[in-house]
Amino acid sequence: MTTTPALQIRGIRKSFGDLEVLRGVDLDVAPGTVVALLGSNGAGKTTLVRILATLIRADAGSALVDGRDVAQEPARVRESLSLTGQFAAVDGVLTGRENLVLVARLRHLSRPGDIADDLLARFSLTEAGRRPAATYSGGMRRRLDIAMSLIGDPPLIVLDEPTTGLDPQARLEVWATITALAAGGTTVLLTTQLLEEAEKLADRIAILHEGRIIQHGTLADLQALLPPAEIEYVEKQPSLEDVFLSLVTATEQDAR
C-alpha cells in the first residue's frame, strides 16, 4: 500500500535579487506526523512556507501538497493546506467567535456558528469567544489564530513560528494545542528557531541551513550524529542544541 505524502518537496530554489535564499530544498512529510523545520533568523523558513501556501512562486523545483503541485494547482493546494503566519490573522475588533464565523463563511461552509462554537470549546476559548480579540493575551490570540486555520479541516497545517513572542506559559498552551492536533491525525509542519520546541513537538526535525535541508530525522537520529558526552561517569545524550550547533558549524567550515 502506498500513501500519498502530505508534502513532497524537491529541489526548491528561490532567490530575491542576488540573494539566494533556497538552494535546492528537498523534504518529505508523511501524513499524520509533526515535522519541525528548524533554522536561524533569515534561513528561509518563511520563504519556504510561503511557496507551499502558493503565496509566492519558487524559481525552480517542485512541491506537492497532498499530491497536488503548488505551481500547477494552486487553488486545490489552498484547500488542502492552511498557513498560520508569523503575524496573526486575527481581527481585534471582532470577538473570537466572530473571527471564526467569518472564516467559515468565507469558506462557504454550512453552519458557521456551530463550527465556531466547536472550535472555541476545543481551544478552551468558549468564555473568551464573546470578547473582542483585541482583549486577548498573546497565547489566546495565537490559539484563536490556529483555530481559524483549522476551519474546513485541511489535512496539512503549517505553523510559521507558532510561539515566537509568547511568554513561557502561553508557549505551553500553544504546545498543548499542537500536541492535541497531532493526536487527532492532522499533519503539522511548523517552523521554529526554538530547539526545545522542536524537541517537544516534532516526530521528525529538518534543519534548514544555507538554503538546504542539511539533516532530517527523528531526535534520536540527530542525537546519534554526535557521540554521547561523558560527564563524571554519567552518560549524557547530546541535546538537540548540541547537534544543531555542531552541524551548522561543520557546514560553515565546509563552505570555506
Ligand X SMILES: Nc1ncnc2c1ncn2[C@@H]1O[C@H](COP(=O)(O)OP(=O)(O)OP(=O)(O)O)[C@@H](O)[C@H]1O
What are 66's three cell numbers? Answer: 497532498
Return the number of the residue (40 or 179) whose C-beta is nearest ligand X. Answer: 40
By CB under 6 A, the residues from 178 to 237 that bind ligand X are: 193
Residue 93 · residue 81 · CB < 8 Å: no
Question: How many CB atoms sit inside 10 A of residue 117's CB?
Answer: 16
Interaction with ligand X in 7-36: which residues (CB under 6 A)? 16, 19, 21
Based on the shown chain and the rule CB under 6 A, indicate whether residue 46 belongs to the binding site for ligand X: yes
Query: Which C-beta is closer to Mg ion: that of 103 or that of 190?
Result: 190
Q: Any contact of residue 177 with Mg ion (CB under 5 A)?
A: no
> Cell triple for residue 221?
537520529
Query: Bridge-partner residues for 10, per DSSP?
Result: 62
Q: Does 44 bind ligand X (CB under 6 A)?
A: yes
| Binding flag, residue 41, ligand X (CB under 6 A) | yes
In angstroms, the Cα distances linking 84 to 4, 160, 184, 190 are 23, 6, 18, 9
Eight-class DSSP state of 132: B
Residue 39 lies near ligand X (rule: CB under 6 A):
yes
Q: Is 70 helix (H, G, I), strand (E, B) or coil?
A: coil
> Do residues 217 and 30 lie in contact, with contact meaning Cβ atoms separated by under 8 Å?
no
Given candidates 5, 9, 35, 45, which one binds ligand X under the rule CB under 6 A?
45
Note whether 23 and 191 are within 8 A (CB): no
Q: Which three cell numbers stand for residue 25?
A: 530544498
CB of 192 to ligand X, least distance (A): 9
Between residues 37 and 147, which has the closer beta carbon with respect to Mg ion? Answer: 37
Smaller CB separation from ligand X, 8 or 40: 40
Binding mask 11-50 for Mg ion (x = CB under 5 A): ----------------------------------xx----
Residue 193's binding partner, choosing from ligand X, Mg ion, none, with beta-carbon cut-off 5 to 8 A by kind? Answer: ligand X
Work out whether 113 is an interface residue with ligand X (CB under 6 A). Answer: no
Work out the number of other CB atoms within 10 angstroms of the CB of residue 3: 8
Residue 110 engages ligand X in binding (rule: CB under 6 A): no
Instruction: Determine the size of the site formed for ligand X (CB under 6 A).
Output: 13
What is the Cα–Cα distance from 207 to 231, expressed in whole angstroms? 27
For binding to ligand X (CB under 6 A), which residues are involved? 16, 19, 21, 39, 41-47, 86, 193
